[in-house]
Amino acid sequence: MIRKAFVATFVLAVASLASAEPRTYVVSAARWGAAQEAAVAAAGGRVSFQHDGAGLAVVTSDNADFAAALSASGAVQRVDEDMVVQWQQPTNTVELDEAAVNPNNDTFYTNIQWAPQSVEAPAAWAAGFTGSGVRVAIIDGGIYSAHPDLAGNLDVAASRSFVPGTNFNEDTGTFWHGTHVAGIVAAIDNSTGVVGIAPGATLVGVKALHNGSGAFSWIISAILYAATPLSAGGGGADIINMSLGAEFERGGGNTGAGPLVAAMNKAVNYADRNGVLVVSAAGNSALDLDHTGSVIAVPAQSGSGIAVSATGPEGFGLGATNFRRISSYTNYGTSAITVAGPGGDATLPGEDPCTKLTATGAPLTRPCWVFDLVLSTSRAGYTWAAGTSMAAPAVSAVAALIRQANPGISLGALKNRLAQSADDEGKQGRDPLYGRGFVNARKAVQ
C-alpha cells in the first residue's frame, strides 16, 4: 500500500530503562582507567563498554544503590541511568518492485534517481573522485549486508552492533532505514539498481537502533567505536553519519535526559578532536532551532558535529527540476544548520500517475509525488523515502569525495571546504534554511 509519509518525524519521547534488571548506566570520568574499573566493581557494577580517551563507559548493575555508591567513590564525574528513545518514527515508504529495476545498467538512476544529479555528483565522478579510500560509518539500524549494491563496499569485519542480542545486519520489516541511508552514501556503480553519491567509499555498519529506537548508551558507544582507529580496535571511520534524532527540553526537563545529552556531546566532541566528521540529520519537525527556547535537537545540535537540512523537488515526475526547494518538514536555524542536502518531499497533491523511463526505455509509473522522494537501497530491494535522514548521507558522501580529493585534509579544512563549495541558496550568505548553502560535489573536488 502506497501512502504519503516522511521518514523520522522526531518527537519528545523517552522511555526509562528503570524497570529493567539489571539497570544500565552511562558513566562519565575525566578519563577511564583502572581506578574507575575498580570503583565500578566495588559498587556492584559490570562494565560492558568503555572508552579510555573519551572518559565514557556503559555499566550495568542490579544493585539498587549502585549510582549513589559509585558517585560517592570520587572516581567518576557522573552516573546516569540510561534511556531508550524513539529516534526514528515509524513511516510508510514506497517500494520499487524488482521488475522495474534495470538489471544491466546503473544508468537507471539518470532518469529516476534525482539526488545525485542535484549535487552534481556525475561531474565529480568524471573527474575521478568516487570516495575511494574513505571510510563512512553508518550509525543507524541494520544494513542488509547481502544487498548487491552494498556488499562490495561494506567492511563486514569492522561492522558492529551495539544493540544487545542483534547483529549489525539485522532489523525489522522490509525497509531497513540504515540500508536506505547506506545506499545514498555508497551504493556501488555496478550493473544493477541505483548508485550512491560516493560509490567508491567504504561503508562501516554500526547498529545502534532497532526498529527506529535505541538507548543513549548504544548510540554513544557506536560513536566512540566508529571514531576509534582500526589499529586500536575501532571502526576507523573518517566520517560518521547519523540519520537519527529526537528533541528534548534543554537540561532534560522532567525526562532526566539532560546528562545523557551531555554525554552524547562528549562522544561527538571526541570524534571531532580525533579528526572524524560527524554529520547528523537536522530533524523533520519543521522547527526553527534558533527560536525553540527550551527545546534542543539531538544529535543535530550535539557537540562539534554538523547538522543538515533537507530539500526536495515538487513535481519531478512532471518534469520539475527544483531540487533545491526547501522541504516542507525540515528543521532549520542559522545556529544549527551547516549545509543542506537532497532529502525529498511529498507535498505534491493528488494521486495522479506519472511515468518515467528507465535506462532501457521501459516505462515506470507511480503516483507523481512518489518521484519527489529519494530512491535508495532497502531490505526489499529499492525503496523511495523522504526526510533529513536522506539529506544527511548525501552530505556525508560529498565529504567523502572531498577527503579523497585532498588526502590528509584536516577536519577544520574539510568542514570549510564542504561549506565554501556549497551553492549559496536562499538569503545571501548563511541563512536559517540552507546554512552555508546546498552541497555541490563538482565544486567540492575542484
Q: Active-site residues: which are they?
A: 140, 177, 389
Evaluate whether 130 touches 404 at the Cβ level (below 8 Å).
Answer: yes
Cell 562501516 found at? 204
DSSP strand pairing (202-207 vs 135-140): parallel
HEC string of the chain? CCCCCCCCCCCCCEEECCCCCCEEEEEECCCCCHHHHHHHHHCCEEEEEEECCCCEEEEEECCCCHHHHHHHCCCCCEEEECEEEECCCCCCCEEECHHHCCCCCHHHHHHHCHHHHHCCHHHHHHCCCCCCCCEEEEEECCCCCCCCCCHHHECCCCCEECCCCCCCCCCCCCCCHHHHHHHHHHCCCCCCCCCCCCCCCEEEEEECCECCEEEHHHHHHHHHHHHCCHHHCCCCCCEEEECCCEEEEHHHHHHCCHHHHHHHHHHHHHHHHCCCEEEEECCCCCCECCCCCCEEEECCCCCCCEEEEEECCCCHHHCCCCCCCECCCCCECCCCEEEEEECCCCCCCCCCEEEEECCCCCEEEEEHHHHHCEEEEECCEEEEECCHHHHHHHHHHHHHHHHHHCCCCCHHHHHHHHHHCCECCCCCCCECCCECCECCHHHHCC
Which of 165, 157, 158 is closest to 218 using CA atoms? 165
CA-CA distance, 402 to 32, in Å (whole number)? 34
